[in-house]
């Protein structure tokens, strides 16, 4: 992989995440306000949860941009090391994203009956599952784009 290829993946990843963050904060805030005005607890919670996830995603996207600033020219070995490191990070994130989707779905299902889980209801669960699903696709696609080491190479000793 060339440095320009790595940087193209990094730029696309952070741009998509930043766009998602901005949309999540904007839409989530609007839905939270609408839910409060209408007296819809679930809509308000969905909106609030979506906006909070968006804010965190924005911080992560900003950190990604900052990490590339002033990087300079990398050797082929450094490019390979950075690509592998990012691929492993994205793969770990994808595993966490699956957990977010499952946990969100469980909270949503439980909340439909009016029960709460960790003080969250169906609106929170649906927002968590939605955010996790987007992040799962984002992380998995970019991990795959960074190259294909076999599972054995990613998990030595297995």
At 71-101, the pLDDT tens digits run 899 999 999 999 999 999 999 999 999 999 9
Residue 49 pLDDT > 80: yes
Q: 23 CB contacts (<8 Å, ≥6 apart)?
A: 54
Furthest C-alpha separation in the chain: 58
Q: How high is the pLDDT of residue 148?
A: 59
pLDDT tens digits for 106-137?
999 998 887 777 789 999 999 999 999 999 99
- Confirm whether 153 is domain-assigned: no
- Confirm whether 33 is domain-assigned: yes
Parent domain of 45: 3-70+77-145
Q: How many domains does the chain have?
A: 1
Helices (H), ranges, 2-40? 3-38
- Confirm whether 152 is domain-assigned: no
- Confirm whether 156 is domain-assigned: no
Q: How high is the pLDDT of residue 114?
A: 76
Phi–psi pair at 157, nearest 5 degrees: 95, -5
pTM over 0.75: yes
């Amino acid at each position: 992989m060339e440095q320009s290829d790595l940087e193209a993946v990094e730029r696309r990843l952070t741009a998509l995440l930043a766009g998602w963050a901005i949309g999540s904060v904007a839409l989530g805030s609007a839905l939270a306000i609408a839910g409060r005005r209408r007296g819809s607890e679930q809509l308000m919670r969905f909106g609030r949860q979506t906006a909070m996830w968006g804010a965190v995603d924005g911080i992560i996207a900003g950190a990604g941009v900052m990490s590339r600033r002033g990087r300079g020219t990398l050797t082929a070995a450094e490019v390979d090391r950075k690509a592998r490191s990012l691929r492993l990070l994205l793969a770990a994130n994808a595993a966490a994203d699956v957990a977010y989707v499952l946990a969100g779905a469980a909270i949503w299902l439980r909340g439909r009956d009016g029960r709460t889980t960790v003080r969250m209801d169906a609106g929170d669960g649906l927002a968590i599952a939605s955010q996790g699903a987007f992040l799962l696709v984002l992380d998995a696609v970019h991990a795959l784009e960074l190259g294909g080491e076999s599972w054995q190479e990613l998990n030595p000793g297995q």
